[in-house]
Amino acid sequence: MKYYKTPLNEVTRWEILRRSQRESPERYKKKQFYKAYVAKDFENVDFEKLFTTDTFVWKSIVGDYIVTVSFEGAFQNLYYEVRNWSGVNRYKRITLKMLTNCLSKALDTEDLYLNCSCDDFKYRFHYWLSQADAVYGVKQSVAPKVRNVKNNKGYVCKHLLAVLFGKRWVAAAAKAWYNFIQANPELAEELIWG
């Protein structure tokens, strides 16, 4: 099984939300009924990878399905904030608010890679996101023949909409990132200021 990760070409979180609201208002309204995270979900984030490749990958259960969201830029945002800091124990000056802002800015402005295990995503959106180079995981090469044939239903299913719309999970992800930094000060110092 070969996995691909290529960027969604200039289609941001906001474009996904606007297009979904415009082209599929019923699905857009359903997003509010799905809880987008639980705190333990961030145990599966590889924060060391975030420092080395600047890639944030998060998987969560939304409804009965597994949603994957990946984006880059959070570490770069942090680095620009702290690159000129000097002295010992610089990691202690990193705040939860700073990390929340770094994640939020990257989520809003960077390319997204998305996936959901639901049938709606599989049969309506997977192919079209593959064409936009926005799928996290295996690309689909066969166009839908029954559902969303003309790609006029938005980009994503209601489970992904719940995650992208709410952003309540960003603070919890930032808290997990903060805890990682505080628990691994030598590694954080090395990876940030090298």
**28-37, 104-113, 178-187: the lowest-pLDDT one:** 28-37
Instruction: Please list the alpha-helical segments (H only) found in 45-168.
Output: 47-53, 74-82, 96-109, 119-120, 126-131, 158-166
Query: Does 5 map to a domain?
Result: no
The token pair that represents 159 in the structure block: 């489970």
For residue 66, which phi and psi values (nearest 5 degrees)? -100, 120
CA-to-CA dists, residue 138 to 42, 115, 127, 145, angstroms: 23, 9, 10, 19
Asked if the model's pLDDT at residue 66 lies above 90, the reply is no
Average pLDDT over residues 148-171: 75
Compute how many other C-beta atoms are within 10 angstroms of the C-beta atom of residue 150: 7
Query: Does 188 map to a domain?
Result: yes
Query: Does 3 map to a domain?
Result: no
**How many CA atoms lie within 13 Å of 173's alpha carbon, on the beta-carbon side?**
28
Model confidence, pTM: 0.79
Higher pLDDT pick, 178 / 58: 178
pLDDT digits over 105-118, tens only?
999 888 889 999 99
Q: How many domains does the chain have?
A: 1
Reduced to 3 states, what is the DSSP secondary structure of residue 181? helix
> Helices 74-82 and 185-193 sit at what angle, rounded to 10 degrees?
90
Asked if the model's pLDDT at residue 169 lies above 90, the reply is no
Average pLDDT over residues 7-16: 63
> Domain range for residue 34?
13-193
